[in-house]
Amino acid sequence: MNKNILVKGILVVLFTLIIAPKAVSQNSGLINYKQYGLSFKIPSGWIGQESDGLYIMTHTSIPGMIFIIPHSYSMTTNEMMSESTGGLIFDDGTKFMPNNLSQINKNAIGGEFEGIYDYTPAKAFLIGMANPKGNGITILSITSSEVYSSQIYKGLALDVQSSVVFTEVQSSKVSTNSGNSKALNDWNYQLGNTKLTYTQSYYSGGENGGGYNMREEIHLCKAGYFLFFDQSMVAVGGSGSSGYSGGNSQGHGTWKIFERAGTFVLALSFTEGKVNEYNLAWGEDYNLFLNGYRYYRTWEGDYAPDCFR
């Protein structure tokens, strides 16, 4: 499943606070996300909070917002440039195209974007940062077109960028001491008879633009087998395709959790011989991450795993 995306789902929530300034939290100063291997400083006078995998900053008197968006996977600056040139399009009333994009330094690109949200003119300055230690981030400084100032909003994005520090990701809140059988038992308890779900959607503009919706489900059954569903609907340059993996009464293979170099790993061994491995991590409020992606963990009712065949 292709998880290549520069701006992960931001257009769904992007303009909740775009026109009128409004405080959303009391966080300020240095922000440290060990689960992303990321730290950055909130600009002076701004405050912020985490929201659905994004970090949103607002000001009491300056309209607009600044976003920090962790990337879904590792990208080079050339790949980020290619992703950005097609524009950012959510629907007919919400779309942005770049005015200019350039290389800021060897690990970052940047440029102004102009367009509409809900048919309201808006402008933004975007910076994409590659991370030599893992997944990068996007910094987005945005407001309505009538108040946008390149000096202010470009300056804010660059201010945040200059404060960013990438470090190695710390993989888990659970103790990962070598040979820690209790931690291993905890992981098996937390994930046994659960359904893990990852979802994502995106649309890219331009002459050959397209988009996709995707959903991945991993059903982990205590009996030792799993089911794996990967559903996607893709349209690129006007063409489309979709796929959904089938199941059988024995599942798709067996699963186990083991420790490697201080990190707990979920291994899916498919019956045809393929093996998928995922580094496990707990984020804030014990949100579950597999290889750095947020998965939703459910086990009851309509959201229970299909473990009783």
Report the CATH fold assignment for 10-166.
Protein Transport Mog1p; Chain A (3.40.1000)
Q: In this model, does residue 1 exceed pLDDT 50?
A: no
In the chain, what percentage of residues exceed pLDDT 90?
30
Q: Rounded to the nearest 5°, which phi and psi values hold at 284?
A: -60, 140
Which pLDDT score, from 0 to 100, does residue 298 have?
87
How large is the average pLDDT for residues 52-66?
A: 83
Which pLDDT score, from 0 to 100, does residue 286 have?
75
- Residue 92 banded pLDDT, cuts 50, 70, 90: confident
- Residue 15 banded pLDDT, cuts 50, 70, 90: very low
For the chain, the structural domain boundaries read 10-166, 181-303
Q: In this model, does residue 6 exceed pLDDT 70?
A: no
d(C-alpha 45, C-alpha 23), whole Å: 11
Letter string b/e over residues 26-43, b meaning 16 or more CB atoms within 10 A of that residue's CB:
eeeeebebbbbbbebbbb
Which pLDDT score, from 0 to 100, does residue 9 have?
39
- Residue 277 banded pLDDT, cuts 50, 70, 90: very high
| Each residue's pLDDT tens digit, 148-167 | 999 999 999 999 999 999 98
Cβ(116)–Cβ(97) below 8 Å: no
Give the per-residue SS3 of 25-70: CCECCEEEECCCCEEEECCCCEEEEEECCEEEEEECCCCCEEEEEE
Q: Concatenate the DSSP letters of all residues of 175-186 into one string.
A: ---TT-HHHHHH
d(C-alpha 246, C-alpha 254), whole Å: 16
Say what the pTM is.
0.56
